[in-house]
Amino acid sequence: MTGLVRRAFVLAVGFATVLAPGPARADGPVVDVADLPPLPPAEDAPSSSATVLAAATAEEDVVVGAAKREQSLGNVASAVTVITADRIRRFGYRTVAEALAGVAGVYIQDTRLTSSVGIRGLLIPGGFNSRVLVLVDGATVNEAWGAFGGVGFDGLVSIDDIARIEVIRGPVGAVYGTNAFFAILNIVTRGALEGSKAWGRIGINSINGAVGTAGFAQGGVNQQIRGSVLVMSRIGESSTIPAISSSPLEGDGANTVIAAVVGTHGGSFGQVRAYRSKRDSPFAPYDSDPVNDPAYSLFNYQLLVEGGHTRELSKRLSASGRGYLNLYRYADRIYNTSDVFLDYGDAKTIGAEVRGRYELRADGKLGITAGVEANYNITKSRAFTDGMEASGVVVPLDFDTEGVYSELDGQPTAWLGFTGGLRFDRRHIPSNGLPASDPDVREAKTTTRLSPRAAVFLAKKEEYGAKLLYAEGFRNPSAFEGYFKDDVDFSANPNIRPETIRSFEAVLWARPAIGLSTRLSGFYWDARDVVEQLPDPMNPARLQFQNVGRYISQGVEVEATYRNSAGWYGFGGATLARVGSGSTGGKVAFGDVVDAPAVTATAGASTPKLFDRAHLSGELVFLSSRHTRPDDTGTPLTSKAWASVDLTVYVPDVRGFDLTAGVRNLIGRRDEIPAPGDYDRFPDPATTITVPKIPGEGREFFIKVGYSH
């Protein structure tokens, strides 16, 4: 680790030098106040420049998702990055995935099935973000069938609705239970006071096609209603992969509709969010016929309904209760040479949570948070040839989960703080009632898990500090991973076990100058019984999810952000991760893990309003080389190192109009994405043609025009 620490220190000094503040301009603020949260009244009214900078700092320093309550960054038991609304607009991000790609340690792989999120060198092939807990205003997006959480155009939130995105690294099972494994992404949406009363935008993208959004917001702090809608129709592009077809692969289209209505009244709150997305994959997954256009189509439908109430019962005691409904459907169409094969995965989750917080000391320096959550899940998988549903495969699976958690936090001195928490989870899958002689018999299964978390904070006010963090987490295999089968491409594995992870991390943070924040982390993650999609040992032409063993990621991470009242904005970060794998309890071999870049780095800078009109922003994303799955001969392959340069011009307000224009992947070289086994070819039962990597998107130009009132 010594070499890694030395390199991280050099990087930290470099970023601090690049982002160090220059002389402040005296001609007032250039950051858009509409993109910043309202400030509470102050005893001494500061200048407008100081007000804007303070608002920006407040937005970046408050985190909600790490403990289900507001905390400052210095007292959060995780390494956290906050992506603000100002950053989203200046850099022209169009999806949550694009915003995440600029965060230290995070990398995005668009497999043309979905945008998958990797964290600190860990992105397990065949997953659909099931190890990342995605929240929208605290409500869980991950559904019960496949645990999918969309972050691209296949997600529940339009980018224009977002006030900030909290990226909370590491397991947080002590608070959230399953799926809070590698990270939490808490998407916080804009309130009525943070945006316009009505707005609309339309964009044209050379690959992603046309995107239109519109919304409204009415009310104030205690009572408001707001809503939005997004419509997208993708153009796509062609690619050539000789292992799949000698002809260019077309069928890269997509379309999406997202709609939401959110309201609050006093302490009551509610949200209704829904989306429908269709994505075509030109790379002919699941042995479909690449001659068809499209060869394969994937559909996602989701409805999330949440409502609840929060109330202060006394000066020391507050309580909150909520109920939620999450409906989801997965569907795909596999176009073969002579027929069309269909898969469906349906899920319904009905749940409730009650939690409270009691301040053990009147000064707020010692408090306890506790809660209980339970839900019931109804899922069903279906697979059949079109027109022959009666002879297809049907797998119903219902299960219930319960969790009880508590967390104690305190600040015994001005420089010392602590957090300690524990959650108990139980999941029960009943027997399907079939006789023991039936090959599809399923015995009842109950799994339990204790997830602890502890942290010690050392700090000098808001100047500098250190955090020592320990956490454990787990992930229950989804219905798709354990029980789905179609008798064509997938085999079930009902004996699959939950994954577990243990995390140790040390964080140093400092604010060496006004507007400059820095962080240096050293981390060690140990994940065991990891579930991975592999060939079925009994039938190699089919895929099966299996507990493959152990993954370890250890390394260092550095991150810095800078902004001032004149309008300059900068950020940068890098992660050096050493990733290894092996059998659970056995020796771990480093350096051969699939899709595990040793280095991920990002940097961005945005100017004040040039000529009092437009911000010019540039961003660099770098991934080092990554291993892919071996080719047909068993030879390990690698994807080359890849860098992307993005440029954006953002004109925020010209008589109510705003304009965003830019280019993604300016260099134009495509990333070589390590491919999951979904794209392998099976021309006959005895032959497998491995497709170890697929091309990423090429250069894309875009322009977006909006009007706000």
Q: What is the pLDDT of residues 22-68, one digit of tens each?
A: 333 333 333 443 344 433 333 333 344 444 444 444 556 778 877 77
Sign of CA dihedral 544, 122, 153, 69: positive
Instruction: Check if the beta carbon of residue 560 is closer than 8 Å to that of residue 16.
Output: yes
The more confident residue out of 18 and 681 is 681
Q: Is the pLDDT of residue 13 over 60?
A: no
14: pLDDT confidence band, cut at 50, 70 and 90? very low
Q: Which of 54-63, 185-194, 290-299, 400-409 has the lowest mean pLDDT?
A: 54-63
Report the predicted TM-score, pTM, of the whole model to 2 decimal places. Answer: 0.91
Q: Is the pLDDT of residue 6 over 50?
A: no
Distance CA 614, CA 654 (A): 10
* 649 bridge partner residues: 616, 661
φ, ψ dihedrals at 231, nearest 5°: -130, 130
Give residue 134's pLDDT: 96
631: pLDDT confidence band, cut at 50, 70 and 90? confident
Instruction: Check if the beta carbon of residue 396 is closer than 8 Å to that of residue 377.
Output: no
The more confident residue out of 542 and 427 is 427
Domain extent for 292: 2-708
Give residue 77's pLDDT: 85
First-residue to last-residue Cα distance in the chain:
54
Q: What one-character DSSP code corresponds to residue 182?
A: S
Instruction: Check if the beta carbon of residue 156 is closer than 8 Å to that of residue 141.
Output: yes
Span 261-289, average pLDDT: 96
Span 651-658, average pLDDT: 94
Closest-CA residue to 476 (of 436, 514, 447, 505) = 447
How much is the CA Rg of the chain, to the nearest whole Å?
A: 25
Number of domains in the chain: 1
Give residue 47's pLDDT: 40
Q: Is the pLDDT of residue 350 over 60?
A: yes
Instruction: Check if the beta carbon of residue 76 is closer than 8 Å to that of residue 83.
Output: no
Neighbouring residues of 460: CB distance < 8 A, sequence distance ≥ 6: 415
Give residue 34's pLDDT: 39
Neighbours of 651 (CB within 10 A): 16
**Strand, coil or helix: 458:** strand
> For 434, left (φ over 0), alpha (ψ -120 to 50), or beta?
beta
User: What percent of the chain lies above the pLDDT cut of 90?
Assistant: 78
582: pLDDT confidence band, cut at 50, 70 and 90? confident
- The alpha helices in 404-521, defined as continuous H runs, are 479-483
Max Cα separation, the chain?
Answer: 82
Q: Which of 191-200, 229-238, 296-305, 387-396 has the lowest mean pLDDT?
A: 191-200
User: What percent of the chain lies above the pLDDT cut of 70?
Assistant: 91
CA angle 421, 165, 63 (to 5 degrees): 40
Give residue 59's pLDDT: 59
Element (H, E) at 644: strand 642-654
The more confident residue out of 589 and 575 is 575
Give residue 60's pLDDT: 64
Q: Is the pLDDT of residue 537 over 60?
A: yes
CA angle 678, 167, 173 (to 5 degrees): 80
Span 72-99, average pLDDT: 92
Q: Which of 21-25, 336-340, 643-647 has the highest mean pLDDT?
A: 643-647
Closest-CA residue to 346 (of 286, 400, 398) = 398
Q: Is the pLDDT of residue 606 over 90?
A: yes
- The alpha helices in 139-206, defined as continuous H runs, are 173-176
Question: What is the tens place of the pLDDT at every residue in 370-403?
Answer: 999 999 999 999 999 999 999 999 999 999 999 9
Give residue 54's pLDDT: 43
Span 358-373, average pLDDT: 95
585: pLDDT confidence band, cut at 50, 70 and 90? low
Give residue 17's pLDDT: 38
Span 639-664, average pLDDT: 96
φ, ψ dihedrals at 5, nearest 5°: -60, -40
Q: Is the pLDDT of residue 11 over 80?
A: no
Q: Which of 60-64, 131-135, 485-489, 679-683 has the lowest mean pLDDT?
A: 60-64
Question: HSE of 659 in the Cβ direction (CA atoms, 13 Å)?
Answer: 10
Span 519-545, average pLDDT: 93
Q: What is the CATH number of the domain that holds 536?
A: 2.40.170.20
Question: HSE of 482 in the Cβ direction (CA atoms, 13 Å)?
Answer: 24
Sign of CA dihedral 23, 29, 34, 36: positive
